[in-house]
């Protein structure tokens, strides 16, 4: 047996936009063990529920993560609404769905770009981010914010989208769709990319299930879980099928996300066609008493916001369980036995969002 | 920008940010905003960097890392604090695990406010930093020639 050496990976590393530290135990070029250590982005704001009232905490919930901020805010609001028994107006539910899916588009395009960067395809990174700007433009025009939207509140939404703008968005999606087709064709059919991703970081269906993989990591390994099927917001009224691939390697996870882009565009089209007229919010009176696990499908997988109130306007406890945290054990499994040069690709293939994971 | 004789390279580090500013820093480098037109490249290596872009409110575990990266960047160097968290701690300033602004750890030259800071303001901040970088370089040059002159007197 050759001698083992430990190579530190991170916290500051060119492929990592965020700090994560991995100790890679190597035998020659092969990774035999991985010891992850986290804590570089832990801010501890769950404790701030004691200082901010439940309406103001939406702003903090949104800032769990700058990439899927809208979905964080929405999931928290759903939790409070369930505890307090608030009926959210239909139109607000549809608007939440539309913004959620735009967030997913922007998150997946961001990821495709970063993923291309991780295997050294700079041009593809630039192209993915160029298309992403179109999605961000729509988010900015409709909510006022590019990455932190602040559009969701307990009891509804803050802003309306007029019918003219909805029609414009419908048209704009056509352009985005064509550009995404060109982009994903490169990811899925380019021979050098396929060569780079195929059979890299394989996660079997059993492992994905038992290690608690969620989102595209689970769906890339053939586990059919998609929280949108539970029908929160307006998802119950939209027709869609979860995107599932069975190979379980990096290419499969990439394919899942690429195909989800088109699924998201379809869902936005459906939501725009079906959105009813009506009020945007209901008045919130009183304070939450009780507890609730609010679940939703974030671009990275299942997100849980647990809220517990005691009848005052300050919550007793907020707990956020994010998809990246649950995807770390599967990541460790994928990394064991891989080549050192594949580590950046495999780490990126779970779409790590450390800002979420550590809060 | 013609007065710049060298292409300034930036290094970016996330010191406990929510990601919002980080993705805006990256967005500033991509085609729509294109920070690279100023000859700026995002490098992963502190030893190649001139401009240090820091985001986030610095938690306890990150203190040493931020200091370490700063020390590895060769002089002259400038630090840009991107976003309100890096400036003062922002919404997280009351959290038990954050130090507050970056300026509690390392000296900061330019503050870019915003939550999240917009790519336009990040570009503005970096371009301002380039002016400061040039002034620092000039000052170093003068000091060097002064020192050389002093040595001449002694000999």
- Please give the pLDDT value at position B80: 92
Tokens at residue A259, please? 């195909």
Chain A contacts in chain B segment 79-138 (CB below 8 A): 91-92, 94-98, 115-116, 118
Tens of pLDDT, residues B78-113: 999 998 888 888 888 888 888 878 888 888 999 998
Locus of tokens 């993705």: B23
Residue of A nearest to B10 (CA): A14
Across the interface, do B95 and A48 touch by the CB < 8 Å criterion? yes
- Please give the pLDDT value at position B151: 59
- Helix, coil or strand: residue A310: strand
A105-116 burial code (b ≥16 CB/10 A, e <16) = bbbbbbbbbbbb
- In this prediction the pTM is 0.86
Enumerate the domain spans of chain B. Answer: 9-154
Which residue in the set A17, A47, A146 is minimally distant from B14, CB to CB? A17
Q: Is the ipTM of this complex over 0.85?
A: no
- pLDDT of residue A17 exceeding 80, the answer is no
Across the interface, do B20 and A13 touch by the CB < 8 Å criterion? no
C-alpha atoms less than 13 angstroms from C-alpha of B142 in its C-beta half-sphere: 6
Tokens at residue A54, please? 């439940």
- Helix, coil or strand: residue A110: helix
| Mean pLDDT of all residues belonging to chain A | 86
Which residue in the set A41, A125, A147 is minimally distant from B20, CB to CB? A147
- Which numeric CATH code is attached to B9-154? 3.40.50.12280
Closest among B127, B112, B145, B105 to B34, alpha carbons compared: B127
Distances (CA, A) of A24 to A65, A159, A211, A339: 27, 48, 20, 11
Q: Cβ–Cβ contacts within 10 Å for residue B43, how many?
A: 16
Contacts of B30 in chain A (CB under 8 A): 113, 125-126, 129-130, 133
Structurally, at CATH architecture level, domain A44-336 sits in Orthogonal Bundle (1.10)
- Tell me which H or E stretch contains A148: none
- Please give the pLDDT value at position A162: 84
Tens of pLDDT, residues A183-204: 889 888 888 888 888 888 888 8
Shortest alpha-carbon distance between residue A63 and chain B (Å): 6
Which residue in the set A17, A44, A66 is minimally distant from B18, CB to CB? A66
Tens of pLDDT, residues B2-27: 556 678 888 888 888 888 888 888 88
What's the CA gap between A15 and A120, in Å, rounded?
A: 10
- Please give the pLDDT value at position B155: 42
- pLDDT of residue A171 exceeding 70, the answer is yes
Distances (CA, A) of A150 to A142, A216, B116: 11, 26, 11
Q: Cβ–Cβ contacts within 10 Å for residue B23, how many?
A: 27
Residue of B nearest to A59 (CA): B91
Q: What residues contact A154, with CB distance under 8 A and at least 6 apart? A: A54, A55, A58, A77, A80, A81, A84, A86, A284
Shortest alpha-carbon distance between residue B21 and chain A (Å): 8
Torsional sign, CA B97, B99, B101, B107: negative
What's the CA gap between A110 and A74, in Å, rounded?
A: 21
- Tell me which H or E stretch contains A104: helix A90-118
| Mean pLDDT of all residues belonging to chain B | 83
What does the pLDDT average to over A33-49? Answer: 80
Q: Catalogue the E-assigned strands of A145-277.
A: 152-153, 156-157
Q: Which residue ranges does chain A devote to CATH 1.10.645.10?
A: 44-336
What does the pLDDT average to over B114-143? Answer: 86
- pLDDT of residue B154 exceeding 60, the answer is no
User: Does the beta carbon of B65 lie under 8 angstroms from any beta carbon of chain A?
Assistant: yes
- pLDDT of residue A12 exceeding 80, the answer is no
What does the pLDDT average to over A337-356? Answer: 82
- Please give the pLDDT value at position B3: 58
What does the pLDDT average to over A261-284? Answer: 88
Cβ proximity of A137 and A266 under 8 Å: no
Across the interface, do B16 and A43 touch by the CB < 8 Å criterion? yes
- pLDDT of residue A51 exceeding 70, the answer is yes
B52 strand-pairing partners: B11, B79
- pLDDT of residue B153 exceeding 60, the answer is no
Across the interface, do A41 and B24 touch by the CB < 8 Å criterion? no
Distances (CA, A) of A334 to A32, A225, A248: 11, 20, 10
Query: What is the interface size between A and B, counted as CB pairs within 8 Å?
Result: 125
What does the pLDDT average to over A64-86? Answer: 88
Shortest alpha-carbon distance between residue B13 and chain A (Å): 7
User: Does the beta carbon of A65 lie under 8 angstroms from any beta carbon of chain B?
Assistant: yes
Torsional sign, CA A254, A357, A107, B63: negative
What does the pLDDT average to over A334-349? Answer: 83
Across the interface, do A65 and B31 touch by the CB < 8 Å criterion? no
Which residue in the set A42, A69, A353 is minimally distant from B97, CB to CB? A42
- Please give the pLDDT value at position B4: 63
User: Does the beta carbon of B46 lie under 8 angstroms from any beta carbon of chain A?
Assistant: yes
- Please give the pLDDT value at position B110: 92
- Please give the pLDDT value at position A1: 60
Classify residue A52 by its DSSP letter: S
Q: What residues contact A298, with CB distance under 8 A and at least 6 apart? A: A68, A71, A72, A75, A215, A322, A323, A356
User: Does the beta carbon of A209 lie under 8 angstroms from any beta carbon of chain B?
Assistant: no
Shortest alpha-carbon distance between residue B97 and chain A (Å): 5
Tens of pLDDT, residues A193-242: 888 888 888 888 888 888 888 989 899 888 888 888 888 888 888 888 88
């Amino acid at each position: 047996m050759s001698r083992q050496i430990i190579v530190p990976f991170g916290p500051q590393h060119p492929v990592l936009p965020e700090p994560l530290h991995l100790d890679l135990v190597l035998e020659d070029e092969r990774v035999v063990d991985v010891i992850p250590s986290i804590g570089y982005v832990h801010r501890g704001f769950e404790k701030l529920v004691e200082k901010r009232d439940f309406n103001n905490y939406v702003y903090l919930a949104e800032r769990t993560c700058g990439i899927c901020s809208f979905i964080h805010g929405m999931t928290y609001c759903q939790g409070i609404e369930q505890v307090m028994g608030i009926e959210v107006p239909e139109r607000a539910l549809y608007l939440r769905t539309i913004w959620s899916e735009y967030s997913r588009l922007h998150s997946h395009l961001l990821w495709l770009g970063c993923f291309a960067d991780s295997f050294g395809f700079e041009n593809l990174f630039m192209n993915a981010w160029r298309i992403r700007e179109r999605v961000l433009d729509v988010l900015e025009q409709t909510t006022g914010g590019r990455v932190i939207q602040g559009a969701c509140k307990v009891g509804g939404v803050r802003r309306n989208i007029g019918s003219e703008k909805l029609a414009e968005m419908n048209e704009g999606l056509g352009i985005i769709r064509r550009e995404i087709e060109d982009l994903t064709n490169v990811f899925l059919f380019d021979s050098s990319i396929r060569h780079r991703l195929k059979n890299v970081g394989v996660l079997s269906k059993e492992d994905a299930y038992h290690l608690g993989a969620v989102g595209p990591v689970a769906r890339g390994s053939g586990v059919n879980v998609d929280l949108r099927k539970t029908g929160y917001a307006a998802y119950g009224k939209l027709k869609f099928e979860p995107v599932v691939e069975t190979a379980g390697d990096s290419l499969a996870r990439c394919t899942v996300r690429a195909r989800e882009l088109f699924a998201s565009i379809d869902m936005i089209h459906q939501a725009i066609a079906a959105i009813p007229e009506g009020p945007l919010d209901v008045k919130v009176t009183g304070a939450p008493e009780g507890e609730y696990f609010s679940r939703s499908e974030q671009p990275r997988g299942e997100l849980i916001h647990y809220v517990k109130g005691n009848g005052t306007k300050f919550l007793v406890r907020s707990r956020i369980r994010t998809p990246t945290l649950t995807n770390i054990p599967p990541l460790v499994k994928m990394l064991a036995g891989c080549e050192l040069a594949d580590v950046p690709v495999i780490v990126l293939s779970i779409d790590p969002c450390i800002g979420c994971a550590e809060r | 920008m013609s007065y710049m004789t060298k292409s300034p390279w930036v290094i970016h580090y996330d010191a406990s940010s929510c990601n919002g500013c980080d993705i805006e820093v990256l967005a500033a480098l991509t085609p729509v905003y294109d920070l690279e037109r100023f000859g700026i490249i995002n490098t992963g290596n502190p030893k190649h960097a001139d401009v240090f872009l820091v985001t986030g409110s610095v938690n306890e575990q990150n203190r040493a890392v931020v200091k370490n990266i700063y020390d590895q960047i060769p002089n002259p160097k400038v630090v840009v604090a991107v976003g309100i968290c890096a400036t003062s701690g922002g919404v997280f300033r009351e959290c038990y695990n954050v130090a507050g602004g970056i300026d509690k750890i390392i000296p900061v030259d330019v503050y870019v406010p915003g939550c999240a800071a917009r790519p336009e303001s990040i570009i503005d901040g970096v371009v301002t930093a380039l002016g400061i970088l040039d002034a620092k370089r000039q000052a170093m040059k003068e000091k060097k020639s002064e020192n050389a002159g002093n040595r001449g007197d002694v000999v």
